[in-house]
Amino acid sequence: MWPLIITILVILVAIILLIATRLRPDLIALMVMLSLGLTGVVDQTRIFSGFSSSAVMTILGISMISVALQQTGVANAIGRFIFRSSKRSEVLLILLVTLASATLSLFMNNIAAVGVLLPAVMSLSRRSQTPPSRLLMPLAFGTILGGMATLLTTSNIIVSGALKDAGLPSFGMLDYFPIGAPVVVVGILYIITLGRKLLPRTQTTDQDQSPRELSERLKKLYLLDKNLTHLLVLPGSPLANQTIAAGGWSSQINLIILGVVRNKKNLFAPPSQTVILDGDIVVARGIFEPRQLEGLRLERVPSSSINPSLTDNMNPLAEVILSPHSRLIGKNLCEINFRVSYGLTVLSIWRQGKPLLTNYSKLNLQVGDALLVQGSAENIHQLQQDQDLLLLEEDPDTVFLPKKLVLAVLITLVTLSIAAVGILPVAQVVLAGAVLLLLTGCMNLNDAFHRIEWKAIFLIAGMWPLTIAIRETGLATGLIDFLLKLLGPVSPLVVAAFFLFLSMLFTQLMSGPVAPIIIFPLALTAAQHFGIDPRPLALAVALGCSLAFITPLGHPVNIMVMNPGGYTFKDFFRVGLPLTIIAFFTILAGLHFIWGL
């Protein structure tokens, strides 16, 4: 009796704390776990079982795969495509994000679908300057909606397997579609209309810079366009067919090369070993004597005719400062051989409140100096490990490993395909894919661990013992038996509505895989008691377990977007409750007209 009472008290206190939002949800989850363990409601051998659960391991693996997709440029490419298609309309942005997530979840695990799209939507948020809170809940809800129309959702698979174990015909791949598809349609219509108006506009710390916004701001701050010139290398020029270093661009004509336009393609931050060819257009900065051009066979080119660029997502600008005890203090850039040592070009030095535009390469560096550098995103990222220089900001959309893009896409597609087929457990397949991405150099392990959604992992792991307590104390079966007695003689549609509601209710407190395991046997008993075909009741249980919109605890994908979107429990309740009601009655209509209840 006491375990049952303690479980009820823990649930009530947790709900109050979650609604009050005074404490972080992941901290509340840990308090729940410890309360159940210390009181003995859940034995010591299983109190920490949530950390090894398949949901946690799947999120861990998917988070790592998401890092690889971001670092290789896959996420950025998806974000650019959606941004171009939206025509800068927020309604279209929300629609496209929801459609993309719903479509992807038809063919793969919901967590995997969100893992693939989450970095892309964050990139899209920065690119469109739309708060992530306007896009990430549609991403999660679209994924859950799409999963209702296919067998590949976890709860749908469990119910289908349970039917087979009971000696009844199991559901095929398309059996959920006739009811699930209308739910997807009405759900998306709600999200882009009423739901869009209910979405919060929370600015989070992840909303740092839109793509290239950091580089553009630094260009203006350091007056980078000042003394910028574009020179065409004519045939027969003494600077042609020589490297930048051998040609003496800096020493002979006092120019720092920022980029080269060759065959209408931009070469960003070319290293000193780059060979300058006839017909190249050199983008350079500095002050020089115009008469030098004739002797060197260089010709000015209007920038408007070539539309050059100094940066992109793979070659951004960055600002670094000297650390207080830097070994570079008192040395100049030539002594340091900065370009060779760091693979970066120093475009300017910020000193005494203004940028130095010329003749700074031989100035001794001082405490407080800031350097504007240009180069590959990977080289800039490496500065985080440097003891002499401190990287002030880093564009979140920079692409560190563009050459690994195709490999990352291939590994991800193979991983998700194997997970979708169900040959092996999803968690194992996803973790294997993450390890393979690490072994092939598609991401860095330190970056992967840094970007994992640890809050989501602790929230799920902390709440996991609660599902054990609800099941083993008899709270679940006792509540269901009590409600079944209250029903009395009713129509089959009312019975279906009851189990649909019950599944939805239990899903808010349990993970999707647990709720159907508890409720399906009771639905099967009810079908026999009322003389009803058990298959539509099984559908009601499975689809009810996907009505996980009211709280972030309803589904792991809600937890995955909670922190990046800056959402609270109230946000999910406000947006998710109307969607739940709409989906609820759409499912009942499908059960009535398609299954004849």
Cβ neighbours around 490 below 10 Å, total: 11
| Residue at token pair 């003494």 | 238
Give the angle 570-572-578 at the CA atoms, nearest 5°: 105
Q: Which of 436, 435, 425, 429 is nearest to 415 (CA)?
A: 429
Number of CB atoms found within 10 A of residue 307's CB: 9
Look at residues 124, 318, 305 and name the one whose alpha carbon lies nearest to residue 216.
Answer: 318
Q: Mean pLDDT, to the nearest integer, of 331-353?
A: 84
- CATH 3.30.70.1450 applies to domain 317-391: yes
Alpha carbons 530 and 492: distance in angstroms, whole number? 8
Give 341's contacts (C-beta < 8 A, 6+ positions apart): none
Residue 552 per-residue DSSP state: G
Residue with tokens 């108006």: 197
pTM of the prediction? Answer: 0.64
Both structure tokens of 339: 């370009």
pLDDT in tens, 134-144: 999 999 999 99
> Which helix H or strand E contains 305, and what residues bound it?
helix 303-306
Mean pLDDT, rounded, for 29-41? 89
Query: Quick one: pLDDT at residue 205?
Result: 47
Burial class of residue 92 (count of CB atoms within 10 Å of its CB; 0-12, 13-18, 19+): middle
Same fold, 213-306 and 317-391: yes
Token digits for 121? 């939507």
Task: Let me know how long the chain is.
Answer: 597
Over residues 290-294, mean pLDDT: 70
- The answer, yes or no, to whether residue 463 has pLDDT greater than 50, is yes
Q: How high is the mean pLDDT of the chain?
A: 82
- Check if CATH label 3.30.1330.60 holds for domain 213-306: no
d(CA 158, CA 54): 14
Q: What is the pLDDT of residue 147?
A: 86
What is the tens place of the pLDDT at every residue in 577-587? Answer: 999 999 999 99
pLDDT at res. 268? 76
pLDDT digits (tens, 9 = 90+) for 479-504: 767 766 776 677 889 889 989 998 89
d(CA 83, CA 76): 10
Q: What is the pLDDT of residues 379-389, one digit of tens each?
A: 888 888 888 88
Residues 316, 383: Cα–Cα separation, whole Å: 14
Q: Domain boundaries in the chain?
A: 9-206+454-595, 213-306, 317-391
Averaged pLDDT for residues 184-194: 95
∠14-18-23 over CA atoms, to 5°?
100
Kindly report, residue by residue over 85-122, the tens digit of the pLDDT: 887 789 999 999 999 999 888 766 677 778 778 888 88
From the list 181, 168, 296, the residue with the least C-alpha distance to 233 is 296
Identify the helix (H) or strand (E) that includes residue 299: strand 298-300
